[in-house]
Amino acid sequence: MKIFISRIIPAAGRQLLLDAGHQITEHAEKRPLTQEELLHYCASQDGFLSVGHSGLNETFFRRCSQLRGVALMSAGYDQVDLSAATRWKIPVSNTPGVLSAATADTAFLLLLAVSRDAFHNYQRILTGNWGFFEPTAHLGQELYGKTLGIVGLGKIGADLARKCKAIYDMKIVYHNRSASPYAAELDARYLSFSNLLRNSDVVSVHTDLNPSTENMFNAAAFNQMKKGAIFINTARGKIHDEQALLDALNREQLWGCGLDVTNPEPMSPTNPLLTMPRVCILPHIGSATRETRDKMAVMAAENLLAALAGERMPQVLNPAVYQ
């Protein structure tokens, strides 16, 4: 059968598909596909392995209704209209779990970098502004014994909480739609969203993007945060309002922020956040380790192989297609 892959993927995943005897077409150019290009390629395929592509909407599933399955090489699936996929009887899968440790490491990296103003101090070296020893200048803040607020205490949030608890003896509070299975292990206390904001020295976001979480961190939310707190987002950029975040930083309501996701993506190189002290921004590299990307590619390939064989995708997101 024929498979289209929207970007080059790690060899481990590609080889699984080839060993199964399928014909593969990969989009090898270092640029995103346009929506029309995606439709052109997918309209003649049996399977689609989607790497970071948006626009999987009603039009896509209608015009590519012959697809036997769509495998996302991502944990997030906010770019997919699952209702439309279900209407057209096309199963869709994602890659949950395997990127949790790497993403939690990225959140921890950002937390440390913000607390010590690492990115801004590095820029001082590049601009020849190393200066001289000043006891009251370029000071960071310590994390020992402080309170970490996790919004979305799933696997990624729990991985971050373990690190912060073990290394810095941080107290853990969290806000979820329901009780977290990790709460007892972490001695984590559930708080309402407002109380979490008021009581946390660090707020780290690990929830998915959905209508209830879009712009969850707006001006009102930042104003409720403890003055001098740190904001970390490694989930989805649309969960925070970037102008409201900038305003909160300018007013020194927040100490600083660390972002692996921005709104929009990619961020403009002229965005004022990029030159602010105590702001650390990465270009959405949360899962970017060789080991994790290999696991993601293999999981996506295994999901697609199941769909092409007429079997249930192991990580299917719309199980109603099998009813």
Which amino acids are annotated catalytic?
Answer: 236, 265, 284
Cβ atoms within 10 A of the Cβ of 263, count?
Answer: 18
Angle between helices 290-308 and 11-19 (to 10 degrees): 20
Q: Where are the beta strands (DSSP E) in the chain?
A: 2-5, 23-26, 47-50, 69-72, 92-93, 147-151, 171-175, 189-190, 202-205, 229-233, 254-259, 279-281
Run of H or E including 125: helix 118-126
Measured in whole angstroms, the distance separating CA 303 from the mean position of its chain's CA atoms is 21
Contact call for residues 259 and 246 (beta carbons, < 8 A): no
The DSSP 8-state label assigned to residue 239 in this structure reads G
Q: Of 210, 146, 135, 144, whose CA–CA distance to 172 is shortest? A: 146
